[in-house]
Amino acid sequence: MNARLNQIEQKILKKERISAQEGLVLFNNADLLTLGFLSNFVRTALHPHRRVTYIIDRNINYTNICVAQCDFCAFYKKVGSPEGYVLKKDQIARKIEETIALGGTQILMQGGLNPALKIEFFEDLFRFIRNQYPTIRIHSLSPAEITYVAKISRLTLEQTLIRLKEAGLASIPGGGAEILVDEVRRKLNANKTTTSQWLEVMETAHHLGMKTTATMMFGHIETLEDRIEHLVRIRNLQDKTGGFTAFIPWTYQPNNTKLGGEKASAFDYLRTLAISRLMLDNVPNIQVSWVTMGAKIAQVGLQFGGNDFGSLMIEENVVAAAGAGFRLSLDEIKRQITDAGYEPHQRDMEYNLLN
């Protein structure tokens, strides 16, 4: 095994792409520090400076009513529930104004699959935001929401994306990818997008000139093989389109969910972060997840392939509902980055530096 590990390490140090099998050999056999060394080598080659970026944006969960009812979700309410809501335009406007006052440049609107909200709702909302707040980027709607809006509006995926883009949608967050292996997705929840539907939304968006991110939620029922398969699917699409700006691996948060179980350990998180950096040689940026892992592990993550501290997260309700309780102010984010030995810089969704 040592000879095999050595061979794979040499490949990485020569900046060659590693295969799925080689990624799995590393995942199963390499020790933590070796993974840290290798992923930091790749990260430094891609980002030779000492900059670590962050974005100031706000999650706005415009509705919690959802027909998908994923087993790992603690956020949704069923149709007709007295606790269900849809935010009104003036409530959203207030949240955007607070975001701008804090130096924010973007809103990330995500919500449940609500049968009452067809495409006209989003077109009207996006036009309103674009006209009232032209400096704010609308980075919103995960592939599951877009697929669902297309379905209930009786439109093709492409028609839906073109209309949303014309109304002001600038880019799409990579949420809802969970693990892009259908067998795992079926076990987690039968009502949500399939692997190919998720990838199709991203591919269509990329072809329409929209950038997107990609995520992976791990540490539930999937195997290490499944995680590698997920990474290969992202890598293959990125080879075709180049439309992903960043990859964000984060751990499943079990509190208040039907699925239950334990949280993945920091050890597992750091190994997976490193493997993500090593496999995704064509995705420029990898985010650490301080919201789910806390600031200390996020700092360590900067030595395991991460080059971005993610978002200030002015408001986040979905993982908070499942027990992720970490909160940081802007000054704390900057301090965490500085204390880890890097320079903090604010960025936009496309990783242009803003300061």
Distance CA(18)–CA(9), nearest Å, equals 9
Least Å from the CB of residue 256 to ligand SF4:
12
Least Å from the CB of residue 157 to ligand SF4:
17
Find the length of the chain: 355
CB 280 within 8 A of CB 235: yes
Least Å from the CB of residue 76 to ligand SF4:
4
Closer to ligand SF4 by Cβ: residue 144 or 314:
144
Least Å from the CB of residue 172 to ligand SF4:
15
User: What are the structure tokens assigned to 214, written together?
Assistant: 């990609």
Residues that bind ligand SF4 (CB under 6 A): 66, 68-70, 73, 75-76, 112-113, 144, 192
User: What are the structure tokens assigned to 309, written together?
Assistant: 């501290």
CB 57 within 8 A of CB 311: yes
Closer to ligand SF4 by Cβ: residue 219 or 305:
219
User: What are the structure tokens assigned to 71, written together?
Assistant: 């087993």
- Assign residue 101 a region: left if phi > 0, alpha if psi is -120 to 50, beta otherwise? alpha
Least Å from the CB of residue 152 to ligand SF4:
14
Closer to ligand SF4 by Cβ: residue 64 or 285:
64
Closer to ligand SF4 by Cβ: residue 169 or 177:
177
User: Which pairs from 66-69 meet CB under 8 Å and 24+ separation?
Assistant: 66/111, 66/112, 66/113, 66/114, 67/112, 67/113, 67/114, 67/115, 67/191, 68/112, 68/113, 68/144, 68/189, 68/191, 68/192, 69/189, 69/191
Q: How many CA atoms lie within 13 A of 295 on its CB side?
A: 16
Least Å from the CB of residue 206 to ligand SF4:
22
CB 57 within 8 A of CB 315: no
Closer to ligand SF4 by Cβ: residue 78 or 88:
78
Task: Give SS3 for 343.
Answer: strand
Closer to ligand SF4 by Cβ: residue 319 or 340:
319
Least Å from the CB of residue 75 to ligand SF4:
5
DSSP, residue by residue, 46-84: H--SSEEEEE-EEEE--B-B-SS--TT-SS-B-TT-TT-
Task: Give SS3 for 283.
Answer: coil
Distance CA(346)–CA(353), nearest Å, equals 6
Closer to ligand SF4 by Cβ: residue 166 or 182:
182
Closer to ligand SF4 by Cβ: residue 75 or 244:
75
Task: Give SS3 for 107.
Answer: strand
Least Å from the CB of residue 344 to ligand SF4:
31
Closer to ligand SF4 by Cβ: residue 69 or 282:
69
CB 234 within 8 A of CB 244: yes
Least Å from the CB of residue 105 to ligand SF4:
25
